[in-house]
Amino acid sequence: MKNDPMSRHCPIVYAMDRIGGKWKMPLIWLIHQYPGVRYGQIRKAYAGITNTVLTRALQELEQDGLIRRVDFEEVPPRVEYHLTGKGKAAVPAVLAITDWGREQMEADGKRPLLAVIEEEK
Amino acid sequence: MKNDPMSRHCPIVYAMDRIGGKWKMPLIWLIHQYPGVRYGQIRKAYAGITNTVLTRALQELEQDGLIRRVDFEEVPPRVEYHLTGKGKAAVPAVLAITDWGREQMEADGKRPLLAVIEEEK
DNA sequence: CGGCATCCCACGTGATACTG
DNA sequence: CAGTATCACGTGGGATGCCG
């Protein structure tokens, strides 16, 4: 049902259409922590993700106006990702999810661990 | 990849495993707004959902310790749903998502509309 | 380095029918 | 009223290989 009142008017459905799925919130979180992070750095940070999937997620986030893709048009290529205003506005929601997840993981005796990107020199 | 560091340790993945999917956050929101809401009331509020899907979502939320199912063991049946402590702890995250969704819907010129349950007399 | 083109499949979601 | 039991399907996610 794509045309029922739920799908058309529910703010949660609207939000999850844009930042739901397996990788989008982690990506927003990462780009928020490391503004201007590069494609290759994201791949390393989230070792499980493949090119296809990462590229698709980034494209959708860009099309929905949450992130900005900055291509320096160099050889070899260099591309940075930043949050837009709309993307930044989503950060509190992503952090709220993260906080609850971390709390509950600890209550379950699991070790929460956030992605880290090595500083370059 | 179920055993990579991402899936095992990321608080967002942990959280989305429990409150992700199409209906779980709307359900948490509804049960938060209307503590003790009944099965049939939920069905009416979310007209698009079917028995199978609603029941499964409620069962998973219960198994994950987010909601409590109160069966009055009457005929005809009467069952109420409540949030547990763990479920209540998730409410701020759900509200943060809702707020962002509503903001962006308005910015897009769409009409956000939240489910309402009629008072009974 | 930062992708794209293809192909593929599990599984989340749902339609339909029936029950205590 | 509050569910079960089956079956079916679309698509989000992924594997693999190639390109400028």
Burial-class residue A118 by CB neighbours within 10 Å (0-12, 13-18, 19+).
exposed
Q: How many CB atoms lie within 10 A of CB B21?
A: 17
The SS3 assignment for A68 reads strand
Q: What is the pLDDT of residue B121?
A: 45
* Average pLDDT, integer, range B74-81: 96
Residue A8's pLDDT is what? 87
Q: Would you say the C-beta of B38 is within 7 Å of strand D?
A: yes
Spanning CA of A34 to C1' of D9, the rounded length in angstroms is: 40
The answer on pLDDT for A2 being more than 70 is no
Residues B9-47: pLDDT tens digits? 999 999 999 999 999 999 999 999 999 999 999 999 999
Q: What is the pLDDT of residue B118?
A: 80
Domain ranges of chain A: 5-120
* Amino acid present at A114: L
CATH 1.10.3080.10 assigned to domain B5-120? The reply is no
Residue B4: the pLDDT is: 78
pLDDT of residue B120: 56
By percentage, how much of chain A surpasses pLDDT 70?
Answer: 95
pLDDT at position B106 over 70: yes
Cα dihedral A24, A40, A82, A59 in deg (nearest 10): -50
Query: What is the average pLDDT across B100-120?
Result: 91
Better pLDDT: B77 or B1 = B77
Q: Model confidence over A5-63: pLDDT tens digits?
A: 788 899 999 999 999 999 999 999 999 999 999 999 999 999 999 999 999 999 999 99
Which residue ranges have CB below 7 A from strand C?
Answer: A 1, 38-41, 51-52, 55, 58-59, 69, 71, 76-79; B 21-23, 48-53, 56, 76-77
Number of Cβ atoms within 10 Å of the Cβ of A6: 21
**Helix, coil or strand: residue A69:** strand
pLDDT at A118: 80
Alpha-carbon distance B73 to nearest alpha carbon in chain A (angstroms): 31
Mean pLDDT of B66-84: 97
C1' nearest to CA of B76: which nucleotide?
A: D1
Q: Point out the least confidently predicted range of A98-102, A106-110, B5-9, B57-61.
A: B5-9
Secondary-structure percent of chain B, ordered helix, strand, coil, rounded to 5: 55, 10, 35
**What is the SS3 assignment for A114?**
coil
> What pLDDT was estimated at residue A28?
98
Instruction: Kindly list the distances between the CA atom of residue B34 and the CA atoms of B31, B37, B45, B117, in Å, as whole numbers in the listed order.
Output: 5, 6, 11, 8
Pairwise CB contact (< 8 Å): B22 & A16: yes
Q: Which residues 54-73 of A interface with strand D at a CB distance below 7 A?
A: 57
Residue pair A97/A25 in contact by the 8 Å Cβ criterion: yes
Residue A121: the pLDDT is 46
Would the pLDDT of A1 be above 70?
A: no
CA distance A33 to A47: 17
- Whether A37 and chain B come into contact, CB under 8 Å, resolves to no
Q: How many A×B Cβ pairs under 8 Å? A: 149
Chain A's closest residue to B7, CA to CA, is A48
Q: What is the pLDDT of residue A6?
A: 85
Residue B36 Cβ < 7 Å to strand D:
no
Cα end-to-end distance, chain A, whole Å:
52
* Residue spans of alpha helices (H) in chain A: 5-9, 11-19, 24-33, 39-45, 51-63, 85-107
Closest chain A C-alpha to B50 CA, distance in angstroms: 11
How big is the CA angle at A51 (ends B18 and A79), to the nearest 5 degrees? 110
**Cβ contact B11–A99 (<8 Å):** yes
CB of B3 lies under 7 Å from some atom of strand D: no
Chain D nucleotides with an atom closer than 7 Å to a protein C-beta: 1-6, 12-18, 20
Q: Specify the amino acid at residue A9.
A: H
